[in-house]
Chain A
């Protein structure tokens, strides 16, 4: 019961409650410091819990809190499961959250709802930690929905702007569609095993029929596509960029959107039961990675490029899960959290220096004005492009090597995506930092200025992590690696072969070539920007493969027409029409009723009494 792990989620909750209690009575930065302190101490608690876990022989600690929902055969506890998977998640979630909280103190300076921002942010971290630390699916769902609603609030943070309000709503509703998947998965699992606790479910795997197992995996996949922005539910994420940039970095890049991948990895023993289910997961991941990368090549908003890049990178993680390479998925998740948070915060610093401008066409040549943002951003760019020795090279390489063994077509798709990734990130880099200055309009002729230390410090720390992240799982170190650590939490897929050392070096070389091709192409094509080289952008890609339009025509509008038909025809004319007909007939038959309604009721009372009297007489006569 008493375990330091308890503090991990409770500290951010405490921060949330304290700030809520203060309302808006404190001065601006106090909220930021309270929130940062809460998350920072949660990180410290996580580190302590991590070392306690290392000294635990089973590598699994359950902390039981209280009985939450219990009726009949359903018995769910509020309990935490501390194991290698959850503690890995906690480490990077709390660590990166603390940095982004710190950054936000600078970035959100002067905002009207400064206190509300940090209140939501701490509640988000609490929910995220509940999600990953829960020992059962239902409590995971609490966190799952909690992060969803915080995302809703933070995306529509500028709620007076219609686009922000709509984006928040869209994010929530797309997530809800995914949630149906998680609900159905829980129902299927409970029906089969009579439990929702992970360890108990995994002990009763033989209770799954092959059909149930496949349906469960597909339902889990639906859940993951919602939360982790995968096809067919990926198009809420670009809209979510309406939120403040730290939110995009924290929720829509580093943490929340990886929850779907976490769920799939957590349920790996069930995934092992259905190869067709895993095959579907692999295809969804691979195709999403590719589609999102193509879209990213034609976006003009710096945050939208990064948003589609996130979708694409998570596609890689999902692809890895499909291939059964769970540790590779988590490895990429951690490294991606480092470099994508870095890139988003870097872009935030850029936006900050340009008075809020996000259009790549209004940037360029910022290299010399942003002495700290530029080199850190460059590290992020090289990392995501897959240039050694940065973190992205190792982690993406790990995924692609495993996929190569699993399926050659998916590997080719992954490799093409790698080229595209290097291309769109280099395009972004060139357009932002190199070439001609195009920003004088938005800065009113002034020079852009570098952000304060409170914003650049997190950039530096994340840049260091993006350089060194690869050591978590270097291919020639097989003990003490993240793969070995995670293996305590996941069920290996039987019959997977691992690549030989020669093949690994060969594939790594291929990855580097792919990255260089992408980078060189971008540097060549985007050398000059006046006039703007529109021929390298496609409107089809810019409009996200017309995905929103497609949903609008096939689902949105028909549904609206059906609802309108219900409201305009079925309800008033058919259902109510019949009733009104009867009512009118009744009213006409009794003249006085229309004028004096109370008379009507009096009559009713009379009828009631008379009826009772008749009944009494009837009963009395019977009993004689």
Chain B
């Protein structure tokens, strides 16, 4: 078990950064410098945490200040810091990192830093940087929480900065987009709240003692099958809005298209992962007894999401909407893996959360670069860009091929694991989902052809290629895409133990039933 201050600083650094930004808001350009410095420091910490993470940990009977329930808990959590604030209310600061959250923590640090560097907004810069850092804290908090109430609070806290990012720095229809996003997510949160309250109280009712929302403890909540199903459904609605899962997605194309590039990056790369991550940790792994009953429904929605998202991506006339629908299809693959019950597919799904974050952040950065030059992301107003901007085209190609699932690039490994794992447990869903592999090529290559191929005329022909600075900003994402595609072992080695640990419990539950 490593020093707890690694994880605490993950939360403190961006929070203090945000405070510093607010304090120096009158000093010109200070906010941006502080923002970049904060995010860079955060990335260093996240990188160290990723390298240090070890998965052989046991929480014995002496579980520190935590409510001790008398049994020793085997866990793959590391860096855990547990501190009960008010035992009778179940209020606790309980953070830890395991194989599910590790790479999402890293992703959060990467994406926020690149958003600051590559999608800077000059209007009200201090506020922009401040909100982004608040959002970073909230997202980080959601991923490292090992307590349901704490998770919920962080989860809700992401809403406010994202709302302001869309509403203040967005495009023409930003108000509508922001409101829709807000109302939609709030609606989902209600279900999440009711579900977790119910879960904690039924645990206390059955076992006595203090109220607790601890994730490790509540895993052992012996609630009835039907209750578990209802709680799972409530969670699935909340996380389904965030992910988004079909048919709860209609806020996302508008929000992704209207948000500023930094907002779209955070929304699609990070906040969407809150949904899929939540469904896996607080749905599948917390309520294993409900999984078997709900599997067919959620798997079907996942497959519909893949096909429907792909169809609408093909029809999209705007690149941001295209990426939004393409994300929806990718999320379909993630949900497929999450709900498959196969450890291979779940490992693939966790890896896909990270890979999709990297890929979609890459897409939005590149779209931002195009938008900055041409003032539009409409597919029809762009043509032949490969001639004037060969580097941009090449980098777009790499990101696109990773998204299509070309072997040797990151997207393939995760998508393949999801499909091969799901095939063993739910063959027909996997077979239909495999068709999605063709569809991704179809809509992305078609879009590429319309934007980059053909003859560039007028403003398109004059468009400057990426500057050196822009190339360096996108470079880390390209490196990650290539590295994970060629050598995913260090990543899989860190994800697998946690997944296998939970899937074992999941299988025991299915067998006893």
Contact = CB atoms under 8 A, between A and B. Distances in A.
Interface of A: 66-74, 138, 141-142, 145-146, 149, 152, 156, 159-160, 162, 165-166, 169, 172-173, 176-177, 179-180, 183-184, 186-188, 190-191, 562-564, 566-567, 570-571, 575-576, 579, 583, 586-587, 597-598, 600-601, 604-605, 608, 611, 615-616, 619-620, 623
B184 interface: yes
Interface in B154-174: 156, 159-160, 163-164, 167
Nearest first, the 7 closest Cβ-Cβ pairs linking A and B are A165-B453, A567-B315, A187-B423, A563-B311, A142-B407, A623-B88, A576-B250
Contact of B250 (A74, A190, A562, A571): A571
Contacts of B137: none
Contact of A160 (B164, B251, B387): B387
B464 interface: no
Interface in B444-459: 445-446, 449, 452-455
Contact of A187 (B419, B441, B445): B419
Given A70-B489, A184-B434, A566-B308, A608 B156 contact: yes
Contacts of B420: 74, 186-187, 190
B445 A169 contact: yes
B160 A605 contact: yes
Given A70-B492, A145-B406, A597-B175, A176 B437 contact: yes
B5 interface: no
Interface in B335-350: 343-344, 347-348
B164 A566 contact: no
B89 A620 contact: yes
Given A179-B437, A183-B419, A619-B211, 5 more contacts: A68-B487, A69-B489, A70-B493, A180-B438, A604-B186
Contacts of A570: 308
Contacts of A620: 88-89
Contacts of B89: 616, 619-620, 623
Max count, chain A CB within 10 A of own CB: residue among B159, B183, B413: B183
A256 B2 CA distance: 51
A74 B384 contact: no
A571 B186 contact: no
8 contacts: A68-B488, A70-B492, A142-B408, A160-B453, A172-B445, A186-B420, A601-B163, A620-B89
B430 A187 contact: yes
| Band of interface residues on B | 35 or more
A562 B311 CA distance: 8
A72 B90 contact: no
Nearest to B445: A169
A72 to B, nearest CB: 5
A74 B178 CA distance: 44
A71 B347 contact: yes
A209 to B, nearest CB: 14
Interface of B: 88-90, 156, 159-160, 163-164, 167, 175, 178-180, 182-184, 186, 193, 197, 211, 247, 249-251, 308, 311-312, 314-316, 343-344, 347-348, 384, 386-387, 401, 406-408, 412-413, 416-417, 419-421, 423-424, 430-431, 434-435, 437-438, 441-442, 445-446, 449, 452-455, 487-489, 492-493, 495-496, 500
Contacts of B421: 72, 74
Nearest to A566: B311
Given A180-B435, A575-B250, A620-B88, A145 B424 contact: no
Contacts of B308: 566, 570
A173 B441 contact: yes
B200 to A, nearest CB: 10
A180 B489 CA distance: 25
Given A160-B387, A620-B89, A72 B500 contact: yes
B437 A183 contact: yes
B437 A180 contact: yes
A183 B434 contact: yes
B361 to A, nearest CB: 22
Nearest to B187: A582
B86 to A, nearest CB: 9
A171 to B, nearest CB: 10
A71 B344 contact: yes
A71 B496 contact: yes
Contacts of B416: 69, 138, 183
A583 B176 CA distance: 10
A623 B211 contact: yes
Contacts of B430: 187
A162 B437 CA distance: 25
A159 B312 CA distance: 26
Contact of B312 (A141, A183, A571, A586): A571
Contacts of A66: 487, 489
Given A183-B434, A562-B311, A146 B454 contact: no
Contacts of B488: 68-69
A177 B436 CA distance: 10
A72 B312 contact: no
B454 A162 contact: yes
Nearest to B309: A566
A68 B249 CA distance: 35
A378 B384 CA distance: 42
A426 B429 CA distance: 51
A97 B237 CA distance: 56
Contact of B454 (A165, A173, A575, A576): A165
Given A70-B492, A172-B445, A156 B453 contact: yes
